[in-house]
Amino acid sequence: MAYVPHSDRDRAEMLAALGLESIEELFATIPASLGATATPVLPEPLSEMELLAEADRLAAENRCLDELVCFAGGGIYDRFIPAIVTSVISRPEFVTPYTPYQPEASQGTLQAMFEYQTMVCELTGMDVANASLYDGATALAEAVLMATGATGRHRALLSGALPPAARAATRTACEAGGVEVVDVPWDDETGRTDLDRLAEMLGGDVACVALGQPNGFGVIEEMSAAARLVHDAGALLIAMVEPISLGVLAPPGKCGADIVVGEGQPLGLPPGFGGPLLGLFACREEFLRQMPGRMVGRTVDAEGATAYCLTLQTREQHIRRGRATSNICTNESLCALAAAVYLAALGPQGLREVATLSVHKAHYLRDLLAEAGVAQRFNEPFLSEFVVRVDGPAEEAVADLCAQGYLVGPALGRDYPELEDCLLLAATERRTRAQIEGLAAAMGR
Amino acid sequence: MTEPTLFDISQPGKRCTRMPAADVPAPALVDVVPAEHLRAEPPALPEVTEPEIARHYARLAAQNFDVDRHFYPLGSCTMKYNPKVHEAIAAAAGWARLHPATPAEHVRGALRLIRDVEGWLAEILGMAAVSLQPPAGAAGEFTCLRIFRAWHDARGDTGRTRVIVPDTAHGTNPASVARCGWTVTVLESGPDGRVSTGTLAEALGDDVAAMMLTNPNTLGLFETNVLEIAAMVHDAGALMYCDGANLNALLGRARPGDMGFDAVQVNLHKTFATPHGGGGPGAGPVGVTAALEPFLPIPRVVERDGALAWDHDRPASIGKVQAWFGNFLVAVRAWAYIRANGADGLRRVTEDAVLAANYVRAALEGAFDLPYDGACMHECVLSAKTPTQETGVRAAEIAKALLDHDIHPPTMYFPLIVDEALMIEPTETESKRVLDRFIAVMLEIARAAREQPEALHDAPTRTPVRRVDEVTAARQPFLRWRPE
């Protein structure tokens, strides 16, 4: 009864207007047998004060990143969020509306998404971007489905060095519809996708090849070389990016990628225990009409003034139904707004500073660990995330370090049995010299 | 009125957030990363200051309709009030600043919350098990169908390729079916707006994998024969999926599990009052029967040695439908909603939602057409067919006229089987005063349609922009800012 505004008098007047004696009459179409078992067993309702106390009690059983020093990665990072981001995305005018189907009532959200799309194009070097998807993992799945639609081929090659969750989500989304998803091996020394093996695997049935940049081990891939191989085989290249890295890294559009996806959480979203996240999605113009998800276009109103609206909806399921490009009918609008505000707040210079600081801190950590006898697993260039080998199972190292106040990982053994003694480490701009030296001391042998 | 974009006001050298100087060795980037991998030019992001950003978004915000300021009776979207305490709880560091890779023993509160919400939703839905992983309603719908496919495959029953979907279904239903490699058989509704068991019998066969049913359906009508429908579908060896978009009509009144559904998807952003965010993030948990539980996405929260832990080792699972555990912070808000309401409160939610929809229906059925007689559930579908025939004023123009009264339009032209449909879902959180005003405005628009229809062709006139040219937008896609 917490949020319903009717008084008993209101209810009585509404029932009377309907000529009814009791509310029960409105439920007469539900068979009585269903009503008899319909009351759920739930805890007693709480007042707001009790609710806040209960939430605090539960949250106290968690150790958040205010309590643990975070060197964990794997797609979710502990990055600084400027106050302006939180302020903008807390406005009820952005928080509470629905999808902007009525453009005259939604210019705020629409223009913000138009600006977001432009920023994603600028970051990735692509021609067009959508207004976001659920997360990086499902964005990869959508990219694979789009590539199969665009090429009429049904085989997708995913680098084994892509984040495991993204590969898993792609399998779940694609295989039932008849797409064969195959992993491409990675090189044991470099941690890069094995391009020789990729060349052998490419054939006339391959729709697309997907590579991480940097990949799931933090290693920088040879994207341009891969693009030549992929395009020679008539397939499309999908790049899965970490967006902060694009402050310094060559954009995939300059390296031959046809579709770019990525996990947008580092752009102003809290880790949130893994959700909500932000699926970045951009592609070359020629694939515009195969692109999944919402898109905002600029147009004019009846008086010729600039206006914005959702566009190219004939791709979408409410019109094309079973032949739609995707079943997705929402985006992560508020998360995309956070990313747009974040990118505006940082600007090109700030984004470069965040990326560069992260690189320096991660490399300092790598150097200290090497001195302390903890070896980097792969020998190719990286930015701010890398894999180290520890003594014994990495899961145990993660648990030990957590007890000492450091969050590291994920441990890689569950997804890569051959890397059972390996874990990921990431450093962001938030990590201080003292914290880095502390972790190196804690991990040293 | 036009607000320039951030790109329009950008000037080289302006900035907002600065980073501190490096407190560790800071070699030149090219000494760490080979030059071939570095970008030659910085991305052309806007260069603006904090006051400019704040002003820009404040002005954009003022151009949106939103639930705090506007009645928003968008059918099937359940635009109810979003409690403020949800935002306070979800913003707390103990939830928002949890890293999903944290070992389970350090996030027991989060695992408990997931376990509790899954358990409470299972109670509300009458299902054996729930997964919070699907990040949206369409994702939940696909998850259910994907589980059905895995169940049929596991039994070696691979000849089933058709899914029966009523003509009143949501558009995502057929799109999700296609993703499972199946095809749709559309089922025509009976004269009462409900599934006819006779028509269903003709459509069923041993090649049918599933039936998808929204209950109440998109006409706002309860499928009274649901028990018989479920029995027929099960007898044919197929499974029953419930699109839970309309769960706001059922809380404490009827449970999909008791109706014979094998899987159901729910939208936390509808029934459980989490905000829609201008199109997301939402969340689309799924509930399934005990027979289907092994197929749910991984990982699952389980109890192990008296403590909550993650279970990744579930060989029958369909895999993953989101990178981690779903839209967790949305689930935190739903946790708060269920905890604040309890069973009696949720039942009252449904009662007041159904009462409001019927109150509006009864008041408007004289001025508009009511295509299907009788009481509705949480939403009513009216038709503007008669006004359209008599005056030329279409449903879309009625919708645009509402904007000039600071009311968000209902869902239009859906379901597809109703001409000039106006699908109105008032929800339980609008006061009688608001409903009375809406009724008065609708009656006034109906009168204006008869007396001066040309005035409605120009609506809206009071919104930040006039009627937007969507045709040009689609013909000449202009999807990113470029310098003039």
Contact across the interface for B61 and A91, Cβ inside 8 Å: yes
- Which chain A positions have a beta carbon within 8 Å of B341's beta carbon? 1-2, 45
Q: Is the pLDDT of residue A326 over 90?
A: no
Choose the closest CB to B106 out of A78, A145, A402: A402
Query: What is the spatial distance between Cα B241 and Cα B286, in angstroms, rounded to a whole number?
Result: 10
If asked whether residues B431 and B367 sit together in one domain, one would say yes
pLDDT digits (tens, 9 = 90+) for B281-305: 999 999 999 999 999 999 999 999 9
Contact across the interface for B479 and A297, Cβ inside 8 Å: yes
Contact across the interface for B359 and A17, Cβ inside 8 Å: yes
In chain B, the percentage of residues whose pLDDT exceeds 90 is 92
If asked whether residues B237 and B264 sit together in one domain, one would say yes
Residues B284/B141, Cβ–Cβ less than 8 Å: yes
Going by their DSSP bridges, the two strands B208-214 and A180-184 should be labelled as unpaired
Cα–Cα distance list, B223 to A31, B256, B260, B359, B418 (Å): 10, 11, 12, 21, 17
Question: pLDDT at position A330, please?
Answer: 80
If asked whether residues B156 and B242 sit together in one domain, one would say yes
- Which residues lie below 8 Å from residue A366, measured CB to CB, with a gap of 6+? A376, A386
pLDDT band at residue B172 under the 50/70/90 scheme: confident
Question: pLDDT at position B1, please?
Answer: 60
In this structure, is residue B80 part of a structural domain?
no
Q: Name the token pair of A341.
A: 């505000």
Contact across the interface for A107 and B146, Cβ inside 8 Å: no
Contact across the interface for B89 and A318, Cβ inside 8 Å: no
Chain B interface, mutation test: which of A273, A334, A406, most B Cβ atoms within 10 Å? Answer: A273
Reported as half-sphere exposure (CB side, CA atoms, 13 A), residue B3 has a value of 26
End-to-end CA distance of chain A: give it in Å, rounded: 59
B406 shares contact with chain A (CB less than 8 Å): no
If asked whether residues B89 and B56 sit together in one domain, one would say no
Q: Is the pLDDT of residue B158 over 60?
A: yes
Query: What is the spatial distance between Cα B320 and Cα B306, in angstroms, rounded to a whole number?
Result: 26
Residues B331/B268, Cβ–Cβ less than 8 Å: yes
Contact across the interface for B362 and A17, Cβ inside 8 Å: yes
Contact across the interface for B278 and A54, Cβ inside 8 Å: no
DSSP letter assigned to residue A219: B
Q: What is the CATH number of the domain that holds B407?
A: 3.90.1150.10
Q: Quick one: CATH architecture of A83-340?
A: 3-Layer(aba) Sandwich (3.40)
Provide the Cα torsion B92, B98, B104, B110; round to 10°: 30
pLDDT digits (tens, 9 = 90+) for B362-415: 999 999 999 998 899 999 999 999 989 988 899 999 999 999 999 999 999 988
DSSP string, A324-388: SS-S-----HHHHHHHHHHHHHHHHHHHHHHHHHHHHHHHHHHHHHHHTT--BS--S-BSSEEEE
Residue at which a domain ends, from B290, B306, B339: B339
- Nearest residue of B to residue A168, measured between CA atoms: B320
B167 shares contact with chain A (CB less than 8 Å): no
Residues A330/A339, Cβ–Cβ less than 8 Å: no
Q: Name the token pair of B166.
A: 């009523």
User: How far does B386 lie from chain A, in Å, by closest CA?
Assistant: 23
Question: pLDDT at position B171, please?
Answer: 78
Residues A111/B3, Cβ–Cβ less than 8 Å: yes
Three-class SS of residue A291? coil
Question: pLDDT at position A323, please?
Answer: 66
Question: pLDDT at position B152, please?
Answer: 97
Q: Quick one: CATH architecture of A69-81+347-443?
A: Alpha-Beta Complex (3.90)
Cα–Cα distance list, A433 to A77, A353, B33, B292 (Å): 18, 17, 21, 51
User: How far does A126 lie from chain B, in Å, by closest CA?
Assistant: 11
Q: Name the token pair of B249.
A: 């009509």
Query: What is the spatial distance between Cα B39 and Cα B61, in angstroms, rounded to a whole number?
Result: 35
Q: Is the pLDDT of residue B63 over 60?
A: yes
Chain A interface, mutation test: which of B15, B52, B66, B481, most A Cβ atoms within 10 Å? Answer: B66
pLDDT digits (tens, 9 = 90+) for A120-171: 999 999 999 999 999 999 999 999 999 999 999 999 999 999 999 999 999 9
pLDDT band at residue A325 under the 50/70/90 scheme: low
- Which chain B positions have a beta carbon within 8 Å of A370's beta carbon? none
Provide the Cα torsion B250, B253, B257, B258; round to 10°: -140
Contact across the interface for B181 and A352, Cβ inside 8 Å: no
The pLDDT mean for chain A works out to 96
Choose the closest CB to A321 out of B34, B175, B325: B175
The values of phi and psi at residue A276, to 5°, are -75, 150
User: How far does B236 lie from chain A, in Å, by closest CA?
Assistant: 22
Q: Is residue B119 classed exposed, middle or buried when 0-12, 13-18 and 19+ CB atoms within 10 A define those classes?
A: middle
- Nearest residue of A to residue B410, measured between CA atoms: A102
How many A×B Cβ pairs under 8 Å? 676
Query: What is the spatial distance between Cα B457 and Cα B95, in angstroms, rounded to a whole number?
Result: 49
B84 shares contact with chain A (CB less than 8 Å): no
CA angle A395, A398, A399 (to 5 degrees): 90
If asked whether residues B322 and B431 sit together in one domain, one would say no
In the numeric block, the tokens 């009645």 are attached to B71
Contact across the interface for B465 and A305, Cβ inside 8 Å: yes
Chain A interface, mutation test: which of B8, B36, B301, B320, most A Cβ atoms within 10 Å? Answer: B320
Residues B438/B432, Cβ–Cβ less than 8 Å: no
Cα–Cα distance list, B329 to A111, B113, B135, B190 (Å): 26, 11, 11, 41
Contact across the interface for B43 and A84, Cβ inside 8 Å: no
Question: pLDDT at position B173, please?
Answer: 87
If asked whether residues B134 and B201 sit together in one domain, one would say yes
If asked whether residues B322 and B355 sit together in one domain, one would say no
- Nearest residue of B to residue A437, measured between CA atoms: B24
3-state DSSP percent of chain A in helix, strand and coil, to 5: 45, 15, 40
Question: pLDDT at position A315, please?
Answer: 61
Residue spans of alpha helices (H) in A48-82? 48-59
Q: How many domains does chain B have?
A: 3
If asked whether residues B322 and B376 sit together in one domain, one would say no
Choose the closest CB to A84 out of B50, B95, B123: B50
Domain span at residue B40 reads 6-61
Question: pLDDT at position A328, please?
Answer: 81
If asked whether residues B355 and B333 sit together in one domain, one would say no
Taking alpha carbons only, the member of A3, A10, A39 closest to residue B355 is: A10
Going by their DSSP bridges, the two strands B286-288 and B129-131 should be labelled as antiparallel
Question: pLDDT at position A349, please?
Answer: 97
- Which chain B positions have a beta carbon within 8 Å of A341's beta carbon? 53, 57
pLDDT digits (tens, 9 = 90+) for B173-196: 888 998 899 999 999 999 999 999
In chain B, the percentage of residues whose pLDDT exceeds 70 is 100
- Which chain B positions have a beta carbon within 8 Å of A15's beta carbon? 355
Question: pLDDT at position A324, please?
Answer: 67
Query: What is the spatial distance between Cα B162 and Cα B480, in angstroms, rounded to a whole number?
Result: 40
User: How far does A445 lie from chain B, in Å, by closest CA?
Assistant: 22
Question: pLDDT at position B122, please?
Answer: 98
- Which chain B positions have a beta carbon within 8 Å of A331's beta carbon? 279-280
Query: What is the spatial distance between Cα A319 and Cα A306, in angstroms, rounded to a whole number?
Result: 26
User: How far does A201 lie from chain B, in Å, by closest CA?
Assistant: 25
Query: What is the spatial distance between Cα A358 and Cα A355, in angstroms, rounded to a whole number?
Result: 5
If asked whether residues B55 and B183 sit together in one domain, one would say no
User: How far does B389 lie from chain A, in Å, by closest CA?
Assistant: 24
**Average pLDDT in the B408-434 region?**
95
Residue spans per domain, chain A: 69-81+347-443, 83-340
Taking alpha carbons only, the member of B375, B426, B125, B90 closest to residue A4 is: B426
Contact across the interface for A272 and B136, Cβ inside 8 Å: no
Q: Is the pLDDT of residue A220 over 80?
A: yes
- Which chain A positions have a beta carbon within 8 Å of B40's beta carbon? 250, 254
Least confident of A129-133, A234-238, A294-298, A312-316: A312-316
Residue spans of alpha helices (H) in A78-204? 83-89, 92-95, 107-124, 136-151, 164-174, 195-201
- Which chain B positions have a beta carbon within 8 Å of A105's beta carbon? 64-65, 70, 403, 408-409, 463
Contact across the interface for B429 and A364, Cβ inside 8 Å: no
pLDDT digits (tens, 9 = 90+) for A42-84: 999 999 999 999 999 999 999 999 999 999 999 999 999 999 9
Question: pLDDT at position B143, please?
Answer: 98
Q: Is the pLDDT of residue A1 over 60?
A: no
Residues A136/A263, Cβ–Cβ less than 8 Å: yes
Query: What is the spatial distance between Cα B157 and Cα A199, in angstroms, rounded to a whole number?
Result: 38
Q: Is the pLDDT of residue B269 over 80?
A: yes
Question: pLDDT at position B341, please?
Answer: 97
In this structure, is residue B431 part of a structural domain?
yes
Three-class SS of residue A309? strand
If asked whether residues B164 and B295 sit together in one domain, one would say yes
Three-class SS of residue A134? coil
User: How far does B115 lie from chain A, in Å, by closest CA?
Assistant: 12
- Nearest residue of A to residue B270, measured between CA atoms: A98
**Average pLDDT in the A236-251 region?**
98
Residue B232 CA, chain-centre distance (Å), reads 29
pLDDT digits (tens, 9 = 90+) for B328-358: 999 999 999 999 999 999 999 999 999 999 9
If asked whether residues B17 and B129 sit together in one domain, one would say no
Query: What is the spatial distance between Cα B411 and Cα B396, in angstroms, rounded to a whole number?
Result: 10
**Average pLDDT in the B132-137 region?**
97
Question: pLDDT at position A2, please?
Answer: 73
Question: pLDDT at position A445, please?
Answer: 72
Q: What is the CATH number of the domain that holds B260?
A: 3.40.640.10
**Average pLDDT in the B13-20 region?**
97
3-class secondary structure per residue, chain B: CCCCCHHHHCCCCCCCCCCCCCCCCCCCHHHCCCHHHECCCCCCCCCCCHHHHHHHHHHHHCCECCCCCCECCECCCCCCCCCHHHHHHHHCHHHHCCCCCCCHHHEHHHHHHHHHHHHHHHHHHCCCEEECCCCCHHHHHHHHHHHHHHHHHHCCCCCCCEEEEECCCCCHHHHHHHHCCCEEEEECCCCCCCCCHHHHHHHCCCCEEEEEEECCCCCCCCCCCHHHHHHHHHHCCCEEEEEECCHHHCCCCCCHHHHCCCEEEECCCCCCCCCCCCCCCCCCCEEECHHHHHHCCCCEEEEECCEEEEECCCCCCCCCCCCCCCCHHHHHHHHHHHHHHHHHHHHHHHHHHHHHHHHHHHHHCCCCECCCCCCCCCCEEEECHHHHHHHCCCHHHHHHHHHCCCECCCEECCCCCCCCEEEECCCCCCCHHHHHHHHHHHHHHHHHHHHCHHHHHCCCCCCCCCCECHHHHHHCCCCCCCCC
Question: pLDDT at position A224, please?
Answer: 97
Contact across the interface for B340 and A51, Cβ inside 8 Å: yes
- Which chain B positions have a beta carbon within 8 Å of A71's beta carbon? none
Question: pLDDT at position B455, please?
Answer: 86
**Average pLDDT in the B114-121 region?**
98
Residues A116/A100, Cβ–Cβ less than 8 Å: no
Residues B350/B255, Cβ–Cβ less than 8 Å: no
Question: pLDDT at position B208, please?
Answer: 98
B468 shares contact with chain A (CB less than 8 Å): yes
Contact across the interface for B135 and A414, Cβ inside 8 Å: no
- Which chain A positions have a beta carbon within 8 Å of B221's beta carbon? 29
The values of phi and psi at residue B41, to 5°, are -130, 145
**Amino acid (1-letter code) at residue A410:** P
Cα–Cα distance list, B467 to A24, A300, A309, A433, B195 (Å): 43, 9, 11, 57, 38
For residue A393, say if its preceding peptide bond is cis, omega within 30 degrees of 0: no
Q: Is the pLDDT of residue B42 over 60?
A: yes
ipTM of the complex model: 0.97
B297 shares contact with chain A (CB less than 8 Å): yes
pLDDT digits (tens, 9 = 90+) for A290-300: 999 999 999 99
B313 shares contact with chain A (CB less than 8 Å): no
Three-class SS of residue A178? coil
B475 shares contact with chain A (CB less than 8 Å): no
- Nearest residue of B to residue A26, measured between CA atoms: B375
Provide the Cα torsion B96, A425, B133, A120; round to 10°: 80
- Nearest residue of B to residue A301, measured between CA atoms: B468
**Average pLDDT in the B23-39 region?**
96
In this structure, is residue B161 part of a structural domain?
yes
Q: Name the token pair of A160.
A: 């084994």
